[in-house]
């Protein structure tokens, strides 16, 4: 199997003779079976061998304890290869790939099923702040989608602490917290900066309550001003919507998937995470409807399934969606063929807007959502109806069919979509 990637017998022997040699070779077979390209396998092989040597130098020769060394290995790799990287973004991308590949190999070696989902890694700072994830879930009552935002920001905070040489939360200080925010802030949107500060405040409150820190440091984290209408996403015209859809190459698997995604966004004003979460069970073909689970506060909202959307979805299901037991509707088009993420939805929209040469500031999934709202306003639907339709209302008003005639909504959903 390794002979497919290396010509020199000495290189193959070095890999096979390492203490993780058989695990590396088994992982290569697993990647090939799961549709990974030869280029990806070839890129990962030397890094996995380097990890085997890294772990052995630290006295580790068993798979179970090797998992705890992955973060240290990635950090050392970043230090060694940082000067070679063309951009910091490409360096981070490679570091993430190294960490993911190493964990996959070790989990496969230990007999654990390898799952392709974004929650497979331990919750950030779990060893430093035990119980925080459960606190968010049980005491704060947060939804998993909200906790995911905490996961991202805490991961960034943990990386910053490691880089600063901070090994105990007892060493936290106002100056350190301010320095972290200043370093992160330039690349963030105002709302993201606000969320980061809010998440830090909740973390620091929990640390003080649990005695992890001897003082309450929440006051060291200021909340940035965010003006609601300062950065409203701009809509595009219906002619520009047509051009965007025409930019999709429906001869490809990606094109068939993305065409259906774009129609869901612009027809129903869905958010990126709502599209990513759709499952086969959400589509009611017999009644020509579909539902959006947890559209607002855990309640589902039902919509008529427009003919043009149904046709695009059928095309993707027949000639694009992989055969899998996973019930998610939309999947990645490259290995691993796992369900798409909200980021995939938004980046796909941005790609086609650019391809259609439509200039819109911060183009993404919200561009089409905003376009849907604008079209409803132009059609002179009541604002309350529009709010219900796109999920702006409270949980009590999520069932739009109790307030608006189904045929009227069907007209909104269908519009002149047949001409698209």
Calpha distance 15→38 (Å, rounded) = 18
Q: Which of 152, 234, 392, 403 is catalytic?
A: 392
Catalytic site residue 152? no
Catalytic site residue 352? no
Report the SS3 class of residue 268: helix
Catalytic site residue 392? yes
Calpha distance 380→376 (Å, rounded) = 7
Catalytic site residue 271? yes
Q: Which of 369, 370, 375, 393 is catalytic?
A: 369
Nearest to 93 by CA among 105, 77, 108, 106: 77
Q: Which of 155, 160, 401, 403 is catalytic?
A: 401
Q: Which of 218, 296, 337, 399 is catalytic?
A: 296
375-412: b (≥16 Cβ within 10 Å) or e = bbeeeebeeebbbbbbbebeeebbebeeebeeeebbeb
Q: Which of 151, 257, 277, 366 is catalytic?
A: 366
The DSSP string of 79-118 is HHHGGG-S-HHHHHHHHHHHHHHHHHHHHHHTT-----ST
Calpha distance 315→257 (Å, rounded) = 9
Catalytic site residue 4? no
Q: Which of 193, 199, 250, 271 is catalytic?
A: 271
Catalytic site residue 296? yes
Report the SS3 class of residue 63: helix
Report the SS3 class of residue 333: coil
List active site positions.
271, 296, 366, 369, 392, 401
């Amino acid at each position: 199997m390794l002979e497919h990637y290396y010509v020199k017998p000495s290189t193959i022997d070095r890999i096979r003779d390492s203490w993780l040699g058989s695990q590396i070779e088994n992982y290569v077979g697993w990647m090939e079976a799961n549709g990974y390209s030869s280029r990806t396998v070839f890129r990962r092989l030397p890094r996995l061998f380097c990890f085997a040597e890294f772990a052995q130098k630290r006295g580790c020769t068993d798979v179970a304890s090797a998992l705890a060394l992955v973060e240290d290995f990635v950090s050392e790799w970043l230090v060694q290869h940082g000067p070679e990287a063309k951009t910091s973004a490409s360096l981070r991308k490679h570091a993430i790939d190294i960490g993911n590949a190493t964990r996959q190999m070790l989990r496969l070696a230990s007999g654990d099923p390898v799952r392709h989902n974004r929650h497979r890694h331990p919750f950030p700072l779990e060893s430093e702040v035990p119980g925080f994830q459960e606190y968010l879930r049980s005491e704060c009552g947060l939804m998993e989608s909200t906790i995911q935002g905490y996961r991202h920001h805490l991961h960034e905070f943990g990386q910053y602490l490691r880089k600063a040489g901070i090994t105990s939360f007892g060493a936290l200080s106002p100056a350190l917290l301010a320095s972290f925010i200043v370093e992160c802030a330039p690349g963030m949107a105002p709302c993201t900066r606000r969320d980061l500060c809010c998440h830090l405040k909740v973390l620091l409150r929990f640390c003080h309550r649990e005695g992890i820190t001897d003082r309450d440091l929440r006051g060291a984290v200021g909340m940035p001003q965010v003006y609601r209408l300062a950065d409203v996403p701009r809509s595009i015209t219906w002619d520009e919507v047509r051009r965007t859809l025409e930019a999709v190459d429906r001869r490809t698997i990606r094109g068939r998937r993305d065409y259906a995604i774009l129609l869901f966004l612009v027809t129903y004003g869905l958010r990126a995470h709502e599209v990513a979460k759709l499952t086969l069970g959400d589509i009611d073909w017999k009644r020509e409807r579909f539902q959006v689970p947890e559209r607002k506060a855990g309640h589902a909202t039902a919509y008529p399934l427009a003919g043009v959307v149904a046709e695009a979805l059928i095309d993707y299901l027949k000639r694009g969606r992989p055969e899998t037991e996973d019930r998610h509707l939309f999947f990645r088009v490259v290995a691993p063929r796992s369900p798409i993420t909200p980021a995939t939805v938004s980046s796909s929209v941005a790609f086609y807007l650019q391809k259609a040469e439509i200039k819109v500031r911060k183009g993404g999934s919200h561009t089409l959502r905003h376009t849907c709202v604008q079209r409803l306003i132009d059609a002179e639907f009541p604002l309350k109806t529009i709010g219900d339709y796109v999920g702006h209302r409270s949980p009590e008003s999520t069932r739009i069919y109790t307030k608006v005639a189904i045929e009227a909504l069907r007209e909104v959903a269908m519009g002149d979509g047949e001409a698209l």
